[in-house]
Structure 1
Amino acid sequence: MKFVTALLGTVLVGAALMAAASPLEIKLPPETAAFKPSPLPGYALAQQKCSICHSADYINYQPPGLSLAQWTGEASKMQHAYGAPISDEEVKIIGTYLATTYGSAKVDAAAVVASSGIASQPVPAAMPPSNAMALLQGNGCLACHAIDHKVVGPAYRDVAAKYAHDPQAQGKVEASIRNGGSGRWGAVPMPPFSQLSAQDIHTLAGFILHQ
């Protein structure tokens, strides 16, 4: 009986020590996965829009050798089932990139050329500066940010307040948009938007800082 009492006392003391100990902190390693490079326009789109919701490692988890139709179906599922901010045309362009880079499709196949988006890439040289809200909507920014409240990332008003008295604010916010990163506002990484033009990035940064 004395042994049982002593054992119980030991257990209770151990439990008390565990309860008093600091909570265990788990720090995840930095994101290192990256999409495989490709000259196809779907590469930039995948970096920009797929990275909003998941790591590039998600692509590597899919069965190898998926066809153009199968990869396009996966992109379409992200659009319709999970609300990915991509248009029907972008579904085809991303599906083509994934199918040729990770699947069984050939770059020079007729179906790939037709859906790659290459023919639609040229932009008129005299195109006027893009409207900030159109840029936010077209590039999936509003899936993670809002003007006045935190979503996944910080509210734009909070960003503006942070840099309110910083003379280098415009350049810093432009760099954040262009290069992405994590740690400034939490652990969730922001994907890079390096495919945007300097003018578009300047427009977005100016809009954010004036909230």
Structure 2
Amino acid sequence: MKRVFGQYKALLFAVCTLPIYAVASPLTINLPAETIVLRPSDLPGYVVAQQKCGICHSADYIEYQPPGFNQKQWTGLARKMKESYGAPLSESDVGLVGEYLAATYSGKPAVESKPAIKAIEVASNTVDKPAVVDVKTLLDQNACLGCHAIDRKVVGPAYHDVAMHYKGNAQAISQVIDHISHGGSGRWGEIPMPPFPGLQPAELKQLADFVLAQ
């Protein structure tokens, strides 16, 4: 009995002398307020954009797009959001949003209230012939490096692996251009690559040349 009681006392002492750790208070993070909103318009697409585009992204995303986009390109971007990312847009909404964005953003510089956006210059004086920018800018503007890296697989294949796959293929440039423009799945796995209908032919060739040079 004494032995059992002694063991109990030893256990009780060990428990009572365990260090007591203070519980950390919750961490609070205060994000800065939004400084950019959709540019106002009397077009019905403005209302649609207010109701549905902000579900997935802020107005900053629109300001980051090339100001040389024409209505076809803006409509293609809205359709990509619908078909590739599940944006709650009807086909009618896609057309209205494309019309609104073309009328309100095409050929006009980005809003001046965000330093990162100031770096995006007006690509051209006309909306149909945007200037060709450098490859790094194209990669950044289209979030290419969010899914790809030069020498390792991320979501999609490494650019080096793509270049090796097409080595010696006389149709490599045209095929890679087509894959970038139209997207698709099954070539490198089940995760689909979204289409990029807003890219100009010269920009598509720049990107394809860059990939195949790795």
Question: What TM-score comes out, normalization by structure 1 length?
Answer: 0.50
Alignment match, 2:55: 74
Partner Cα distance (2:92, 2:203) in 1: 33
Once the two structures are TM-superposed, the CA of residue 192 in structure 1 deviates from its matched residue by 1.3
Residue identity in the other structure for 1:74: I
Shift of the alpha carbon at 1:147? Answer: 1.1
Structure with greater proportional helix content = 1
Structure 1 position 132, deviation (Å) = 1.0
Shift of 1:193: 1.3
Whole-Å Cα distance in 1 between the matches of residues 178 and 91 of structure 2? Answer: 30
Maintained 8 Å contact 2:52/2:89: no
Kindly report which structure 2 residues correspond to 1:20-99, keeping only aligned pairs within 5 A, or say none.
Answer: 68-76=49-57, 87=61, 89=63
Deviation at 1:182, TM superposition (A): 0.9
Retained in 2: the 8 A contact 1:68–1:103? Answer: no
In structure 2, what is the Cα distance between the partners aligned to 1:168 and 1:67? 42
Distance 1:191 1:88, change over 3 A: closer
Q: Distance in 1 between matches of 2:105 and 2:51?
A: 23
Pairing 1:187-198 to 2, within 5 Å after superposition: 187-198=190-201
Q: Is the 8 A contact 2:132 2:202 kept in 1?
A: yes
Which letter does structure 1 place at the counterpart of 2:132? P
Deviation at 1:75, TM superposition (A): 2.6
Of residues 131, 136, 139, the one that matches 1:136 is 139
Structure 1: runs of 5+ lacking an equivalent: 1-39, 43-65, 81-85
- Deviation (angstroms), 1:117: 5.0
Task: Identify which of 178, 182, 188 aligns with 2:181.
Answer: 178
**For residues 59-117 of structure 1, what are the alpha-carbon distances to aligned partners after superposition, in whole Å with 9 as ceiling and x for unaligned?**
xxxxxxx96544243133xx69xxxxx626369x86xx97884899xx5xxxx89x735
Give the structure with higher Rg (CA).
Answer: 2
Is 1:159 matched with 2:162?
yes
Deviations along 1:128-173, whole A, 9 cap, x unmatched?
4221111111012111111111111001111011112212211111
Aligned position for 2:101: 116
Q: 1:191 to 1:67 in 2, by over 3 A?
A: closer
Identity within the alignment, %: 37
The TM-score normalised by the length of structure 2 is 0.50
Find the residue that maps to 2:56 and give its secondary structure.
helix
Where do 5+ consecutive residues of structure 2 fail to align?
A: 1-42, 66-73, 108-123
